[in-house]
Amino acid sequence: MKSTVILGTGSAAPDNILTNFDLEKIMDTSDEWIIQRTGIKERHIAKPGEKFSDFALPASRQALEMAEIDPVDLDMIIAGTLTPDTLMPSGGCTIQALLNADKAAAFDVCAACSGFVYGLAIADRFLKNDPDLNILVIGGELVSHHMDWNDRTTAVLFGDGVGAAVVASRENQGAKILSVEMQSNGKLGELLYFAGLGSEHPVGREDFKPEYNYISMQGREIFKHAIRNMVEISGKAMQKAGVTVDQITKVIPHQANLRIIEMLAKQFKKPLDQVFINIDRYGNTSAGTIPIALDEANRSGFLEKGDLVLLTVFGGGLTWAAAVLEW
């Protein structure tokens, strides 16, 4: 029987690396504090002029190449991002044009860090209805353009990068998506806030303040909600997939804070060598964390045939999601 599968993955990030020591020179922070409190050592930061599509395009091409799918055969492009090149055309449409994926419907999903897994959920539901579709799901950000480099509580945490996956319906091919669950709580939305180009604070109006263009976060509050909700939604996804936590062999968690990852590993009773961690090299790339980690885990051999893999993510909105894959 056919089921939704991932056929290929890809990822890309800016060449420019910003280390904790570089940050020490521009704000009141230290390598020691950042490593101890977050696990981050360095992050990729776009240079002025670099944009979302500069990284979403190579990530997509890699995923398509691995999947052996021609861009002209794509039916849909879903981009989970808060930071497309432009709001209109959407990030999905920009990539559609660059790929010459002429028959695809393309759009963005605005679910902050959860954007990629939300995109997987949408792709899965479409494929259950129409198994002939080929869908490209992208997730990632150029979040550094929206950092207040005077705000040490948030600026040290984030980095830029994009990942992608090609999703289709197949029998005996690719990594099966057994379940994808998602949830939100808009009532707590202000804990992680980015006014951006929203209609509440139109750019250019006399009362527009620079901070509307920056991401801000109440870190301690978010920390608690992140753990609680990722554990809960992971339980739902495992139940839906018909697997127990003991059967899960690999975990790919959102890369927001090493302490959160370690607490999740403890909750799921998994040794850290079964948990994929790259936060030390990327920081939090928002919607990019899961697809970049998935691609690195795939290409490095961390994921082995037969693995039952749990993806779990939490982000602004608030939004959270989890998926179970059979590799």
Residues of this chain that bind ligand COA (CB under 6 A): 29, 33, 37-38, 113, 152-153, 156-157, 192, 219-220, 222-223, 226, 256-257, 260, 284, 314-315
Closest CB 226 distance from ligand COA, rounded Å: 4
- Of the candidates 127, 151, 130, 63, the one whose C-alpha atom is nearest the C-alpha of residue 101 is 63
Give, for 60, the enclosing helix (H) or strand (E): helix 52-67
Q: In Å, how far are 28, 104, 258 from 163, measured between CA atoms?
A: 32, 19, 20
Q: How far apart are CA 122 and CA 101, in angstroms?
A: 19
> Dihedral sign, CA of 165, 17, 159, 207?
negative
Residue closer to ligand COA, measured from CB, 57 or 156: 156
* Interatomic CA distance for residues 175 and 78, integer angstroms: 19
Beta carbon nearer to ligand COA, 31 or 307? 31
**For residues 293 and 124, what is the distance between their CA atoms, to the nearest angstrom?**
20
Nearest CA-CA partner of 321 in 190, 130, 183: 183
Angle, helices 289-300 vs 115-129, to 10°: value is: 80
What are residue 108's DSSP bridge partners? 79
Q: State which residue has the least CB distance to ligand COA.
A: 219
Closest CA to 46 of 285, 316, 214: 285
Q: Which is nearer to ligand COA, 39 or 71 (CB)?
A: 39
d(CA 7, CA 136): 10
Between helices 91-99 and 52-67, what is the axis angle to 10°? Answer: 60
* 222 vs 265 by CB, closer to ligand COA: 222
Question: Dihedral through CA 185, CA 188, CA 189, CA 191, nearest 10?
Answer: -140
Active site residues per annotation: 113, 254, 284
Q: Which amino acid makes up residue 121?
A: A
Q: Taking the complex as a whole, how short is the minimal distance between the CB of residue 222 and ligand COA, in angstroms?
A: 4
| CA–CA dist 53, 162 (Å, integer) | 9
Helix or strand run (H / E) with residue 62: helix 52-67
The DSSP string of 188-234 is: GGGGEE--TT-TTS-TTSTT--GGGGS-EE-HHHHHHHHHHHHHHHH
Nearest approach, Cβ of 192 to ligand COA (angstroms)? 6
